[in-house]
A and B are shown apart, each in its own frame.
Chain A
């Protein structure tokens, strides 16, 4: 089964990221494929490179990166929601004439069309908020 995950909350706001990670791990373990993870609204903050969580908080960004490395899923940030919140990769930083890029791979900045794609090409779309 191909699954798209949607996240809408900032990583420090709620347990939704931990829930989504646990769901993804369990799905992969049973043979499902996480096609893409789409971060929208405040969830785009997961891509912020300067996050420095306390040592006993756990590093959610690292957990997503490890999941992507193991499973091959795409980590997609809504490009408009990201720009509104100051999350820019090198190309977007140049386009917005910002002196600093705040997002790096494996997080990708993409249009909402990638979010919409799941509502047809994924067997299941599971949202966490």
Chain B
């Protein structure tokens, strides 16, 4: 259920909370718990954005085949249903982490400069 997002919302200049995901996916139960935490922020109407950074871009790889484990890509797709809509990745890290693989379409690219600005303005930053 991916929805194409091509542009950063220009009216959004500030997020109260930034969740920065820097760890690769499929780290056991921990990865699912990260998503559960994000869902709880959305369920409790906490203004937030999720930023995939460095090795965290591995979460965005298309065509994930995790075997017996839960497919994190499908769970990521459920975030907007909970109200977690603003998902970004650092465009400068894309080639290094994902190479030529396409990035899922419901996550927007942002520059390191934009990310830095959001991090500076946020009241809370949580790093996973």
User: Chain A: residues with CB nearer than 8 A to chain B?
Assistant: 6, 40-42, 78, 80-81, 84, 111-113, 115-120, 125, 127, 129
For B42, the closest partner residue in chain A by CB is A116
A41 engages B33 (CB within 8 Å): yes
Chain A residues near B33 (CB-CB < 8 A): 40-41, 78, 80-81
Interface residue count on the B side (C-beta < 8 Å): 18
User: Chain B: residues with CB nearer than 8 A to chain A?
Assistant: 16-17, 29-30, 33, 36-37, 39-41, 43-44, 46, 48, 123-124, 126-127
A119 engages B36 (CB within 8 Å): no
**10 nearest interchain CB pairs?**
A112-B40, A116-B44, A116-B40, A119-B17, A119-B46, A119-B124, A116-B41, A125-B124, A41-B33, A113-B44
A115 engages B40 (CB within 8 Å): yes
Chain A residues near B39 (CB-CB < 8 A): 112
Chain B residues near A113 (CB-CB < 8 A): 40, 43-44
Q: Known contacts A115-B37, A119-B126, A120-B16; can you find 18 more A-B pairs with CB under 8 A?
A: A41-B30, A41-B33, A42-B30, A78-B33, A81-B33, A84-B29, A112-B40, A115-B40, A116-B37, A116-B44, A119-B16, A119-B17, A119-B46, A119-B48, A120-B44, A120-B46, A125-B124, A125-B126
